[in-house]
Amino acid sequence: MHPILADAGSQFGVTPAKLIAQVVTFGLVYFVLNRYAFGPVTAMLEARRKRIADGESKLEKIARDLAAAEENARIIVGKADAESNRLIKEAGEGAVLLAEKKRQEAITEANGIIAKSREAAKLEQEQLTVQLKREFGRMVVDATTRVTGKVLNNDDQERINRETAAQVSL
């Protein structure tokens, strides 16, 4: 060793044994920190970083899903709105048609009732007319019998009734 270095080493107490001992001590400190501190801590930090990144990506996915769901809901609501409007319109149109149909049915039914009533009245009138004519014929026959004093046979009565009926225009 150079005398200057040897002198400096002696003055500062540097010896190979002490130097190696201190290097070993420092090496142990490095080993301890690297093994028991930096390794686990960096692994934990990495795990946390990964967890945060996963959380962020999940959050983004949730936001995307939410936006898609909102869009989907908006489309569904739009469709439902259009469908309900169509149904309301159809229901309105159906109601108008049904009312018209019912009105026509009522008119038809009323016309039928009126026609039947007319027919019944006409029939009743005819029956009364026939009855009246018959009664009037009978009265004419009675009057003739009383005026002439002649008993009228069936042919006479028939002829008088026919002629009377022909004379009476009801």
Partner 1 sequence: MCGLFFARKMMSFSQPFSSFSPLLAVNTAASSLFENVSFLSFLTDSFLVAAIVLGLILWIARKATTNMQLVPHPAQNFFEMVVEFFYGFIESIVGPKVAPRAFPLLTTLFIFILISNWFGLIPGVGTIGWGEGNGFGVLHEVEKPLFRPATADLNMTLGMALVVFAFWIYITVRETGVWGFIKHTFGPKGGLKGFMGAVMVVIFFFVGIIEVISVLLRNVTLPMRLYGNIFAGENVLHTMSSMLDGSGPVVSFLGSVLLPLPFYFMELLVGALQAMVFTLLTAVYIKLSTTHDEEGHGDAHH
State the residues that interact with partner 1 by CB under 8 A: 11-15, 17-23, 25-30, 32-34, 36-38, 40-42, 44-45, 47-48, 51
| Cα separation values, 169 from 129, 132, 162, Å | 10, 11, 12
> Is 38 or 58 the residue whose CB approaches partner 1 more closely?
38
> Is 48 or 118 the residue whose CB approaches partner 1 more closely?
48
d(CA 157, CA 148): 13
Neighbours of 77 (CB within 10 A): 10
Is-contact 137 165, C-beta < 8 A? yes
CB of 31 to partner 1, least distance (A): 9
> Is 45 or 139 the residue whose CB approaches partner 1 more closely?
45
CB of 8 to partner 1, least distance (A): 9
| Helices within the chain (DSSP H only) | 3-12, 16-33, 39-148, 154-167
> Is 1 or 151 the residue whose CB approaches partner 1 more closely?
1
CB of 39 to partner 1, least distance (A): 8
Can you read off the two tokens belonging to residue 163? 């002629």
CB of 7 to partner 1, least distance (A): 12
